[in-house]
Structure 1
Amino acid sequence: MLEILREINAILWGPPSLILLAGTGLFLTLQLKGMQFSKLGYAFKLAFTKDKSDDDAEGDVSNFKTLMTSLAGMIGNGNIAGVATAITLGGPGALFWMWLVGLLGMATKYSEALLAQMYRVKNKNGEYSSGPMYYIEKGLGSKFKWLAVLFAFFAAFAALGIGNGVQSNTIADVMENSFNVTGWVTGVILVILVGLIVFGGIKRISNVAGVFVPVMAVLYIVSALLILALNYDQIIPAFGLIFKHAFTPVSAAGGFSGIVVMQAMQHGVSKGIFSNEAGLGTVALIAGNARTTHPAKQALVAMTSTFIVTIVVCTMTGLVLIVTGFWDASGGLISGVSHNPNLEAGALTSAAFGSSLGAIGEYIVSISVVFFGFSTIIAWYVYGIKCFEYLFGLKYIAAYGVIYITATFLGTVADLSTVWAFADTANALMMIPNLVGLLFLYKVIKAETQEFFANPVQKMNM
């Protein structure tokens, strides 16, 4: 199974997909005139200050809670385990490609959220439903319904792997390494906790995310900054390695096989997408629930999530791994810092933190993995049921919930390599229909954005 998935991923994440992904981000960046850079400050203002005009707007939850739910799906083990996997498999240069796909992806994320607000619908429970399947079908017409169905199917399926199995697997791995808790025990605990929250609906999930995400993100980032301060003399050399190996291979040494540039690019892009989800369309599955007076406002808020996740959190993880020498998959043969070469993903990041902060550093990462992973699992449940609802209606949502919780347990006892390979496959399969939809609807995105920023009242509020 693992070999089959690897062969599939070599095709799905080959040059055509990388060109489609980066090309869509670049194309939208040009169409929006680099808005993700010029309007970033205003976007953060909208995200973290209350706009009273939104109080009476249509929607289920506030802009801030929508952002927190979206971040719950992104600030997870993709930022801890995913970055470690990308750098050990693709070298330090993988971080450069994560940055690039993140910066371009901000325009993609903005566009996804904008269309989500524009084409959202109310379901029979009185809640809003949105996502690429709605803006593909409603924006492009019924002749593209097949593409909308493909996205919904792949995303509902992907939620079981990328947002669930990968997270529970990494949680179980760290719980066993740090606390000697057997995988199946972790699985049972997760099943109980996830079940209690996910069946409480979108408002309960957004409330939990609004508490979990800010606290854990601050704790993790502060800890990473402390390590970088302790290793300040290695920061500039670390950036040198990142830029050097983004364009030149990592030489083989000892048991280390070496890394070519294409591996750095492939792992950087695929794990970058896993961490920030720009291009996957997931933000569109929650953005339609936001209370806002204009689609562009929620889109700007959603855009900040990619910056926070990639440019801040992933960079912190990557730099810690590099300055401590734990990026070297050969066990320190290249970097000169000896460590256990059998450590993987979250356990590797945990060990890197522990090398500078001692036992407390390992525990900080371990606890972060547990809480980030848990919040990601519940956020991706929202994504999964939105897609399942589109395909089959509300009648069978409970059945999907049972399948989802079962996948949570299975993830804790599955092989790590297979789970990660499956996540990469699922990412690509849901990404392609969404990107096609965005490219066809770029004129709508551009016109709605221009209308928003041309409003005299809006200019006064910026």
Structure 2
Amino acid sequence: MGTFSEFLGWLSSMLWGAPVLILVFSVGLLYAIKTKFLQIRYFKHIMKNTLGEIFTKKGVGEHGTLTPFQAVSTALSGCVGTANISGVATAIFVGGPGAVFWMWVISIFGMLTKCVEVTLAQYYRVQGEDGVYYGGPMYYIEKGLGKKWKPLAVLFSLTIVFGGLGTAAFVQPYAMSSAINSAFHVPTWVTVTLAAVICGIVLIGGVQGIGKFCEKLTPLMCVLYVVAGIGVLLFNFRNIPAAFGMIFTYAFKPFAAVGGLAGSTMALAVRQGAARGTFSNEAGLGSSAITHATAKTPHPFKEGMYGSLEVFIDTLVVCTITALIILSSNVEIWQSGLKDVQLTQAAFSNVYGSFGSAIVTICLMLFAFSTMVGWEMNYESAFFYIFPKKTKAVKFLLRIIWIIPGFFTLGKTPELIWTIVDVVSGLWCIPNAIALLLLSGVFMTIFKDYKAKYIDKTKGIDESIEI
């Protein structure tokens, strides 16, 4: 098999070839057919009852650990990360402009897939002895499919524990340190060390501490990046139609080698778009559902709609802005052969000068750090599903372990980093997707209950199914 990196490359290609792509798409297609594309037909309702209420106390239930805003902020902090800046750039570098189209496709279906995940996580959640609510795929696999499926639930939890250490705890410090080193020439070890220390301090507060931290940081970092990105797009306004043209054209035909780009096939565009899009918004992976299971909500589907909102913000807004910024920039920039965060920095710098690189660096630092913090909740919840005994000593040890992987990224190449991401995200996607395919009947029952009480209004809105 050759070197270890070659083995990882082979495994990544296997996972994000036909097996996982077909599985993820099958889940989205199944629910799209059964709900008649709920995410599109009820888009206005979803936005009104999530984004329209996110800063109010409306729609907050009595039982739970985090408020809906804290839950969506924490989940978004885990989604809106390096994939939105460097991941999109990597997708274009490897898969060509057409990769963006397939990122959109997987995200449209992903809006519904994540809604299903979050709804089921709320429906099957449990309250631990420590008073914290726990849920996610491991719980809806065991409780929804039965005890005989527990090995699949354990497998999912193991992939989250090791996958979290391999993505959020490993990739995010790498992204921060490499970006800051490129922009400000700060040694990578300094950034990794500071990130570990600050993350450790935040984690002392547990689930509620993470929620309070993320509800302050996540909106700030999203607004900062979107506003700065819109400024670049306004400057490159005349090139945007051509950028869209390339996205649609090369989604269905090979992208020839040009400039510093090696060129790509349609199959590579599909794989890159699907992999980067799925890793970015986490739809189909089940990881965000773990965070949403802690939220206070009057109905499981109510929280499920926040899952749809996340995918919309993460991929259809933030990732799209990054893609258009790159493709609407000078040809000399996006065809230069630059990759990873350096490509996005170059596109920003073309408009803002040297300040552009600083903007991207600051945003990426915030994105990466928020993911590093927010994702720890998933990792800890998965561990305690396998080993239910929750002692202060064990929690402390888990949090110490969480801040270690970043130090192993020092000196690694971006290709190796993103290959590791593809491998671990592909592994935890499989058991979750199987559960989603088998629990479609349960979701439809929950959705019909919500529709009757909150949309059709045939019953009192204060009634709710037992959760």
Name the TM tier (shorter chain).
over 0.9
| Counterpart position of 1:281 | 286
TM-fit CA distance, 1:339: 7.4
Where do 1:67-106 residues align within 5 Å? 67-106=72-111
Is 1:352 aligned with 2:350?
A: no
Q: Which residue number in structure 2 is paired with residue 443 of structure 1?
A: 441
Is 1:226 paired with 2:231? yes
The 8 Å contact of residues 72 and 379 in structure 1, kept in 2 or not, is answered as yes
Aligned-pair Cα RMSD in Å: 1.7
3-state DSSP of counterpart to 2:250: helix
What letter matches 2:161 in structure 1? A
SS of corresponding position for 1:251: coil
Q: Percent identity?
A: 36
Query: 1:408 and 1:316, CA in 2 relative to 1: closer, same or farther beyond 3 A?
Result: same
Whether the aligned pair in 2 keeps the contact of 1:53 and 1:293 (CA below 8 Å) is no
Pairing partner for 2:65 from 51, 60, 67: 60
The 1:72–1:456 alpha-carbon spacing in structure 2 relative to 1, beyond 3 Å, is closer
- Larger deviation: 44-53 or 392-401? 44-53
Instruction: Please give the alpha-carbon distance, in whole angstroms, between the structure 2 residues aligned to 1:382 and 1:311.
Output: 25
Partner of 2:163: 158
Kindly indicate whether the alpha-carbon contact (under 8 Å) linking 2:260 and 2:336 is maintained by their aligned counterparts in 1.
no
Deviation at 1:23, TM superposition (A): 1.5
Maintained 8 Å contact 1:238/1:319: yes
C-alpha displacement of 1:176? 0.3
Deviation at 1:252, TM superposition (A): 2.2
Higher share in helix: 1
**Per-residue deviation at 1:301?**
1.6
1:31-60 per-residue CA deviation (whole Å, 9 max, x = no partner) reads: 122111122222222223166564552111
> 1:179 and 1:455 mapped to 2: Cα distance?
55
Name the structure 2 match of 1:330: none
CA contact (8 A) 2:39 2:111 kept: yes
Q: Which SS does the other structure have where 1:164 is aligned?
A: coil
Counterpart position of 1:404:
402
Query: How has the CA–CA distance of structure 1 residues 228 and 56 changed in structure 2, closer, same or farther, with 3 Å as cutoff?
Result: closer
Task: Name structure 1 gaps, 5 residues minimum.
Answer: 326-334
Matches within 5 A, 1:100-139: 100-139=105-144
Going from structure 1 to structure 2, the CA distance change for 1:206 and 1:413 (only over 3 Å counts) comes to farther
Deviation at 1:253, TM superposition (A): 3.6
* Cα distance in 2 between the residues matched to 1:106 and 1:137: 24
Aligned mates of 1:19, 1:243 — CA distance in 2: 22
Equivalent residue number for residue 251 of structure 1: 256
Q: Separation in 1 of the partners of 2:454 and 2:317?
A: 33
Tell me what 1:8 maps to.
Answer: 11
Corresponding letter in the other structure for 1:67 = V
The alpha-carbon deviation at position 199 of structure 1 amounts to 2.2
Distance 1:102 1:62 in 2: 25
* Aligned equivalents of 1:353, 1:253: Cα separation in 2: 22
Q: Residue by residue, what CA displacement relative to the aligned partner does 1:140-181 show, whole Å, maximum 9, x if unpaired?
A: 001100110110000111111222211111111101001111
Q: How far apart, in 1, do the equivalents of 2:128 and 2:207 lie? A: 13
CA contact 1:40–1:304 (8 Å) conserved in 2: no
Amino acid in structure 2 at the alignment position of 1:153: L
Offset, 1:415: 3.3
Shift of 1:374: 0.4
Q: Which amino acid aligns with 1:410?
A: F
User: What one-letter code is carried by the residue in structure 2 that aligns with 1:4?
Assistant: F
Query: Structure 1 residue 414 and structure 2 residue 405: aligned?
Result: no
Give the letter for the 2:419 counterpart.
A
For 1:177 and 1:339, the matched residues in 2 are separated by 20
Classify 1:229/1:51 alpha carbon distance in 2 versus 1 (closer, same or farther; 3 Å). closer
| Superposed displacement of residue 416, structure 1 | 2.5
Letter in 1 for 2:354: A
- Over 3 Å counting, the alpha-carbon distance change for 1:111 and 1:355 in structure 2 is same
Of 265, 270, 280, the match for 1:265: 270
Distance 2:58 2:235 in 1: 46
Amino acid at match of 1:212: L
Structure 1 position 458, deviation (Å) = 6.4
* Structure 2 counterparts to residues 30-69 of structure 1, below 5 A: 30-48=33-51, 49=53, 52=57, 54-55=59-60, 57-69=62-74
The one-letter amino acid of 1:43's match is: I
Q: Is the CA contact (8 Å cut-off) linking 1:161 and 1:419 kept in structure 2?
A: no
Cα distance change on mapping 1:163 and 1:111 into 2, 3 Å: same
